[in-house]
Amino acid sequence: MFCKGTAKDILAAGLLILLFSVDFKKELGSLNRELQLHILELADVLVERPSQYARRVEDISLIFKNLHHLLNSLHPHQARATLIHVLELQIQRRKQAVDDIKRYFILFSAERRGAETSHGVSRNPGWAVEHGL
């Protein structure tokens, strides 16, 4: 699944996996199961053959490094998803504010027209300026 070595070794061997082709959920689940298995094997080795525990600890360490790498690889994706969510909320709030302004404008316009017609006021735009509206 994953190999030992530095990033340069991995790149030199041509084993670099593109992040977009990795199924993070599947890989993390697989590594988690593998970690559980290796921990059980370590417990067994410590009981049966205590002198041979070092290799099991190295295997567990490698699994933790791979888990750490995958989780760090998820940070940009998580940040992008969070930003998209925040921006969608902002758009929704702004659309609601525009709708509220339109609704109040229509309500105010209707009340103003009703007041103008009931008081016999002309629809002269200068009238609104003269009266502070």
Is the model more confident about 123 or about 72? 72
Decide if 69 contacts 16 (C-beta within 8 A).
Answer: no
CB 77 within 8 Å of CB 56? no
Q: CA dist 105 to 41, 57, 90, 98, 127, Å? A: 73, 71, 22, 10, 19
pLDDT-above-70 percentage for the chain: 71
Tokens at 84, concatenated: 């998209």
Q: What are phi and psi of 17, to 5 degrees?
A: -100, 130
More confident of the two residues 130 and 30? 30
pLDDT in the model for residue 60:
94
- At 22, the pLDDT band (50, 70, 90 cuts) reads confident
1-16: per-residue pLDDT in tens? 455 555 555 554 444 4
Domain ranges of the chain: 7-130
Q: pLDDT tens digits for 37-76?
A: 999 999 999 999 988 889 999 999 999 999 999 988 888 8
Residue 1 contacts residue 30 (beta carbons within 8 Å)? yes
| Single pTM value for the model | 0.50
pLDDT of residue 20: 52
* Amino acid identity at 103: R
CA distances from 75 to 7, 24, 25, 78 (A): 19, 12, 14, 5
